Structure 1
Amino acid sequence: MRTVRLNFDRCWRRSLLPALLLLLAAFGQALPAVGAGPKLDFRLRSRVETGPASGRYQVVEQAEAWEPAETAIIVCDMWDLHHCFNAVRRAEEMAPRMDQVLKIARDQGVQIIHAPSSCMDAYKDHPARRRALETPRSKTLPAEIGKWCYQIPAEEKGTYPIDQSNGGEDDDPAEHAAWAAKLTAMGRNPKAPWKSQTELLTIVPETDLISDSGEEIWSILEQRGIKNVVLMGVHLNMCVLGRPFGLRQMAKNGRHVVLMRDMTDTMYDPHSAPRVSHFAGTDLMVEHVEKFVCPTVTSDQLLGGAPARFQGDKRPHVVFVIAEDEYKTETTLPVFASSQLGRDYHVSYVLGNAKERNDLPGLGILTVADAAVVSVRRRVLPDAQVAALRAFVSSGKPVIGIRTASHAFAASGNKVAPAGHTSWEAFDAEVLGGSYHGHHKAGENVKVEPSPTEPPHPILQGVDATKLVGHGSLYKVSPLAKTATPLLIGTIPGQPSEPIAWVNAPATGGQVFYTSLGHVDDFADSQFNRLLRNAIDWACGRGGPSVASVDRKVEVSSPEK
């Protein structure tokens, strides 16, 4: 017996043990430990209130590196069919790129969860569905995790941005009727025709999971040690926010959740308030999420390139850069943009840091902007922010300057720029084409008349200059650069006339417009609103007379309320 045991021990040491060690080593290489492989690098975008109860929000981005094994993507309600035909079109356009995102994430070890609500019967025998059902139910389920969530406490601070009370369908009525008839002929319920997830998205049986249950999905996250969740799919203002596995429930219950904002859509009808385009309605919902629910990311952060954009979304992206303490443009310009630009432009804002004067957080958004509207007064910015401004201008993209933009980035008096900061004293001369050197005493309204240019400039189409009045002090800006063309002239008693609106052709190229108008009371003048809207149209190459309403006034109020 002893001889047999000795022989076995020798065999174990000489052959079986080395083989087992090799097997374990190979297994260890195939399944790397958490932290051993590359991370998921995301830039999370949020909107933070500039001050207590200010109602104004600045964009803030934060870089994070996530462990793939601690991350899940939930695909919400990407159904095969929908009662809104335009919703079907947009989902089909979005799905191929979404599938690329899922593949890249899956290959890196991210858990993919497909959540086509009310479609579980189609997957009752699918391995991905069975695996979800076999997950042990968590013993620490949050209260009401199995229910819809219509609001979380943070949202009480703001106003819901769109009216979706009519269901949000944006179909042409005749086309919608024809689509409903087609669904009926297919044997589908035209009000709820979905039966499965779209086949444009791949479900991998060996790794993916299928569930539409808040309790199941929460249990999956707990059982697999998942800390980070990405939500994508449709529709943001309904299912993506409200489902038991949606953004609100995840955020309310402490899960680190983000929305992939270019892989979503809304149910919003532009005929409903605030009567902006469908895509602008989605923008407003994304902003609402970033303010009150969770941060957002974009698909290019996994795929490279640029964020996705619907083919039908032809809107130029205009960024309003606002940081001045004199004329309340942090309030008047957002209200102007909402009333005048909402159907035709994608609008974003960069606001000054309330705690640090010489800081414009979020200025990096200029890299994806088509035009910039500048209303800044004497901010000497960090070197990187000045570099971003110079790069934008050098690219030849349009710049529209409002009032204090003539001394936007100039130091006050003889002050020296702080360490790590740079002034751009020549912004006025190099970009706007002016030579600001002070202003006349306030108190006298500025009489306005058109400059004798032939033919009349497109910016002045529909503007009755005889009804336009400047309510702020008259700026001293003469002489203009040789590349500048004056459009409007302002006069006060006993003083030389001064240009108060002009266009410029800077050396960097691009369309440039500037006006020294922009006092808070100017925005109550429909002629000024038309002038500014025309200038943005012209600068962005839209051409033709503006479609802005000459009868519409901008009332000063909080941009959020």
Structure 2
Amino acid sequence: MLKYSFSLLLFILLQLHSACAQHKPWLQFKPQAGTSNGKKVLLISGDEEYRSEESMPMMAKLLAKHGFETYVLFAIDPKTKQVNPEYQTNIPGLALLNSADLMIIATRFRALPDEQMSYIDRYLKAGKPVIGLRTATHAFNYGKDVKSAYKHYSFNEKEGPWKGGFGGLVLGETWINHHGDHGKEGTRAFINGLQVNVDNPILRGVKDIWVPSDVYGIKNTLNDANILVFGQPTSGMTASSPVNWQKTLMPIAWTREYQLPEGRKGKVFTSTMGSSVDLQSADLRRLILNASLWAVGLENSISADLDVSPVGNYTPKMFGFGTYDKGKYPEDFQ
């Protein structure tokens, strides 16, 4: 009996190991036959609060509907192979950047190993386009005692060309503060009419954005950027909440050029909006879709009536720490 019990236990353990080994650490979405635009987008999730593990798959499916081949990467616990946004040192699949035409990043305070960071660094030195959402302004954070060739990517880098880290050098701003009252004030967007008048393709069809996440503080003057959208805190957490005129406007979406030392110039779209619940806003989805087409040189295909409805059911969680779905694998976000 003991022999059979041991055999059964061994069989179960082998099955569990096999199941774990079969979990692919990323998602892939292909456009329907005949609709491909020939462009490949890598969407990188990995934040503890704003549920990018929910928003990035939704946006990946939306982009695939418009001709992109898309891949979604996740923060993965290497022991369980499960999605764990609180695991800050592992995002497998970044080698896919080698053949990507666009990187969309929504990470927060990651300290990735050098092997993984090397793909991001190579991509950026090639001057390829970037879209940074919400916490991407503070996408990386290496502690003082961490030995890494990429410590300068940290949001709190103080001096030199990398001041502000990835956010400062590439996106145009690092983490400053919550300008709005976090969890109590949302964001009312004001579209920059000057950019509308010159028919900026990213703003085509974008008219009405309100999101539950609050306005981030901006310290950089962004003199080298085209500000597309300004944001004002709202005194409440609904779309009908009045604007809080006691607080100033802040840029919440812009484009600019970036260039790493010894790298080529590239173009960037940044928005400090972008939590999973923010993306229930149709016009925010439109803004990001338009920015994606602009980033890869397909701005002539942007029209005001592009379909931005989510593919399938999209019911994201409210932002918050520790609220992610535990025990999920990447395929569960398919």
**TM-score by shorter chain over 0.5:** yes
Question: CA offsets per residue over residues 421-446 of structure 1, 9 Å max, x none?
Answer: 73302111111112431213211121
Task: List per-residue Cα deviations over 1:301-360 (Å, max 9, x = no partner).
Answer: xxxxxxxxxxxx542000011111211111122122213433400101221122552122
Aligned residue in 2 for 1:502: 254
Q: Which has the higher helix share?
A: 1
1:241-263: CA deviation from partner (whole Å, max 9, x where unpaired):
xxxxxxxxxxxxxxxxxxxxxxx
Which one of 520, 530, 539 corresponds to residue 276 of structure 2? 520
1:540 is aligned to 2:296: yes
Inter-partner Cα distance in structure 2 for 1:541 and 1:439: 33
Distance 1:560 1:497 in 2: 36
Structure 1 residues 479-498: aligned runs within 5 Å: 479-492=220-233, 493=244, 494-498=246-250
Inter-CA distance 322–383: structure 2 relative to 1 (3 Å threshold): same
Q: 1:417: how far off? A: 5.2
Q: Secondary structure at the match of 1:373?
A: strand
The match for 2:25 among 48, 53, 58 is 58
TM-score when scaled to structure 1?
0.43
Greater radius of gyration (CA) = 1
1:447 is aligned to 188
Partner of residue 555, structure 1: 314
Shift of 1:481: 3.4
Q: Please list, as runs of the form range in 1=range in 2, the aligned pairs for 1:45-194 lying within 5 A after superposition.
A: 57-59=24-26
Q: 1:551 to 1:334 in 2, by over 3 A?
A: closer
Distance between the aligned counterparts of 1:446 and 1:59, measured in 2?
31
Residue 72 of structure 2 corresponds to residue 344 of structure 1: no
Higher relative contact order (CA 8 A, sep 6+): 2
Q: Is the 8 A contact 2:133 2:273 kept in 1?
A: yes
- 2:94 maps to 363
RMSD: 3.0
Q: Could you tell me which residue of structure 2 aligns to residue 458 of structure 1? A: 201
Q: Deviations over 1:458-477 (max 9, x none)?
A: 1000111xx21121021012
> Structure 1 residues 382 and 315, CA, compared in 2 at 3 Å: closer, same or farther?
same
Q: 1:517 to 1:559 in 2, by over 3 A?
A: farther
- Give the TM-score taking structure 2 as reference length: 0.70
Contact 1:334-1:559 within 8 A present in 2 as well? no
Helix, strand or coil for the counterpart of 1:511?
strand
**SS at structure 1 position matched to 2:25:** strand
CA contact (8 A) 2:188 2:232 kept: yes
Change (3 A) 1:475 1:445: same
Task: Tell me which amino acid in the other structure corresponds to 1:538.
Answer: W
Cα distance in structure 1, aligned partners of 2:26 and 2:33: 22
5+ residue gaps, structure 1, are: 1-48, 61-160, 162-273, 281-312
Counterpart code for 1:357: Q
C-alpha distance in 1 between matches for 2:310 and 2:117: 36
Q: Is the 8 A contact 1:380 1:421 kept in 2?
A: no
Cα offsets for 1:88-128 (capped at 9, x unmatched) = xxxxxxxxxxxxxxxxxxxxxxxxxxxxxxxxxxxxxxxxx
CA distance in structure 2 between the partners assigned to 1:396 and 1:422 by the alignment? 17
Q: Paired residue for 2:50, among 320, 324, 327? A: 327
1:418 alignment partner, one of 146, 160, 179: 146
Looking at structure 2, the residues matched to 451 and 478 of structure 1 have their Cα atoms a distance apart, in angstroms, of 19
| 1:474 aligns with one of 210, 215, 227 | 215
CA distance in 2, matches of 1:331, 1:279: 28
1:201-240 to 2 correspondences below 5 Å: none
Checking the alignment, whether the CA contact within 8 Å between 1:57 and 1:351 is kept in structure 2 is: no
Cα distance change, pair 550–344 in 1 and its aligned pair in 2 (3 A): closer
Using the alignment, how far apart are the partners of 2:146 and 2:280 within structure 1?
38
Identity of aligned residues (%): 25
Partner of residue 168, structure 2: 429
SS in structure 2 of the partner of residue 409 of structure 1? coil
- Structure 2 unmatched runs, 5+: 1-16, 79-86, 155-164, 234-243, 317-330
